[in-house]
Amino acid sequence: MKNEFEIIETLARKRPSVLPKELLTDIGDDGAVIRQNSANDLVVTTDLLVEDVDFRREWFVPRLLGGKALAVSLSDAAAMGAKPLWSVTSIGLPKDVWQTDFVERFYEGWNETALKFGVTLVGGDISQTPDKIVVDSTVFGDVPHERAVTRSGAQNGDFIYVTGSLGGASGGLDLLESGLRFDAENAESPAQKLILRQLKPSPRVTEGLILRENDLATAMIDISDGLSSDLRHLCTASAVGARIFADLLPFDENLKNLEKDSARILKKALHGGEDFELLFTVKPSNAEKIEKLLPSAARIGEITAKSILLVTNDGEKDLTARGFRHF
Ligand code: ADP
Ligand code: MG
């Protein structure tokens, strides 16, 4: 069976051999970049959330699902260094859900996130599904002409950074799978903080804009599938390798509170999905600027000529991509 990346490659190849010259960054990045005029480019990105594949209904309250549906697309816009502006969001609902206050609550959460990031809903579609909830979230953003940050600009010797912390969303997923649920009354407990990393991701839009405005990132991707998978996407697009230092990974502090086994914490930080942090590369000469402008970003490794390696106290080994895949 073909995996999802082979399917995408096949459908991309079936398009006309000459694409419009306005298309600046094609299928394969976090968003497509389309020339609007001499000053600005448009960034378009879309995500599909399917119940029981991408989320479980019993984990979410509708408000959180609405917020997350928008946040995952904002994270892709952030990874392009774009300012998100507009959204078309479509929902497919089974009849029993339609008859509840799901839609009102969903859009409360959606609007809260939209307001925070200055995004306006300009359209969408609604349909009925036999029994599962489906959400299609598309975001349009703006970036100065030819300034979008792609996955493909990393060069040998660049430093690798990640915003925020890693592994928390995966820790939250484990807790949800073990039966624990979101509990607003207890939002400050380590377990609830992990659950919120899974249910209420914070897209790093501001960080993406700082990197782009200061021309600091040579390449960037958001971590949706997991560091090991998304680093591989960035390295493949840039035709480079990487060396990641396990000791430098910014493990989620709540994960450390709940999990004592350091090997399991490392595994979550390397392969756990949905942290929605930004992974980016920077020329060594700009390292000081990063420390000043984005002090919360951690330097976790360096770009090399080839091979993606993990350095631990036991030495170097291949960092195999073990992140999330649909097919
Ligand atoms: P991300 O995790 O950043 O949302 P994906 O892994 O979902 O990216 O997709 C990788 C690339 O493939 C993106 O550029 C995306 O637009 C493209 N892609 C995914 N599915 C399709 C599809 N059905 N048709 C065309 N392009 C697609
Ligand atoms: Mg992405």
Residues 191, 197: Cα–Cα separation, whole Å:
10
The reported pTM is: 0.97
pLDDT of residue 195: 98
Ligand 1 mutation pick, 27, 54, 73, 74, max ligand atoms within 8 A of CB: 27
Amino acid letter at 9?
E
CA distance 223 to 160: 13
d(CA 77, CA 90): 18
From CA 9, how far away is CA 120, in angstroms rounded?
32
Q: Which atom of ligand 1 lies nearest, measured to the CA of 30?
A: 3
Q: Does any ligand 1 atom lie closer than 6 A to the CB of residue 274?
A: no
CA-closest residue to ligand 1 atom 22: 8
The residue whose C-alpha atom lies closest to atom 14 belonging to ligand 1 is: 28
Percentages helix, strand, coil for the chain, rounded to the nearest 5?
40, 25, 35
Neighbours of 293 (CB within 10 A): 15
Q: How far is the CA of 27 from the centre of ligand 1 (A)?
A: 7
Q: How far is the CA of 151 from the centre of ligand 2 (A)?
A: 10
Q: Is the shortest distance between the CB of 190 and ligand 1 below 6 Å?
A: no
CB burial class (10 A; 0-12, 13-18, 19+) of residue 18? exposed
Task: List the structure tokens of 229.
Answer: 């998978």
Q: Is the shortest distance between the CB of 29 and ligand 1 below 6 Å?
A: yes
Q: How much is the pLDDT for 327?
A: 72
Ligand 1, atom 23, residue with closest C-alpha = 8
Residue 230 CB–ligand 1 contact under 6 Å: no
Alpha carbon nearest to ligand 1 atom 27, residue: 8
Residue-level pLDDT, tens digit, the chain, 327 residues: 789 989 999 999 999 999 999 999 999 999 999 999 999 999 999 999 999 999 999 999 999 999 999 999 999 999 999 999 999 999 999 999 999 999 999 999 999 999 999 999 999 999 999 999 999 999 999 999 999 999 999 999 999 999 999 999 999 999 999 999 999 999 999 999 999 999 999 999 999 999 999 999 999 999 999 999 999 999 999 999 999 999 999 999 999 888 889 999 999 999 999 999 999 999 999 999 999 999 999 999 999 999 999 999 999 999 999 877 777
Q: Please tell me if the CB atom of residue 7 comes closer than 6 angstroms to any atom of ligand 1.
A: no
Quote the pLDDT of residue 256.
87
Secondary structure element (H or E) that encloses residue 112, with its range:
helix 102-117
DSSP one-letter string for 161-227: EE-S-BSHHHHHHHHHHTT----GGGTTSHHHHHHHHHHS----HHHHHHHHHTT--SEEEE-SS-H
Contact predicate 162/279, CB 8 Å: yes
Query: How confident is the model at residue 325, as a pLDDT?
Result: 73
pLDDT for position 99: 95
Are 163 and 207 contacting, i.e. CB atoms less than 8 angstroms apart?
yes
Ligand 1: residue of 25, 30, 45, 227 to mutate (most ligand atoms within 8 A of CB) is: 30
Supply the residue whose CA is at minimum distance from atom 18 of ligand 1. 8
Ligand 1 nearest-atom number relative to CA 45 = 16
Q: Report whether 139 contacts 254 (CB < 8 A).
A: no
pLDDT, position 1: 77
How many Cα neighbours within 13 Å face the side chain of 196? 13
Q: According to the model, what pLDDT value does residue 323 have?
A: 77
**Ligand 2 center to 224 CA (angstroms):** 6
Separation of CA 31 and ligand 1 centre (Å): 8
Dist. CA 292–CA 151, nearest whole Å: 24
239 Cβ closer than 6 Å to some ligand 1 atom: no
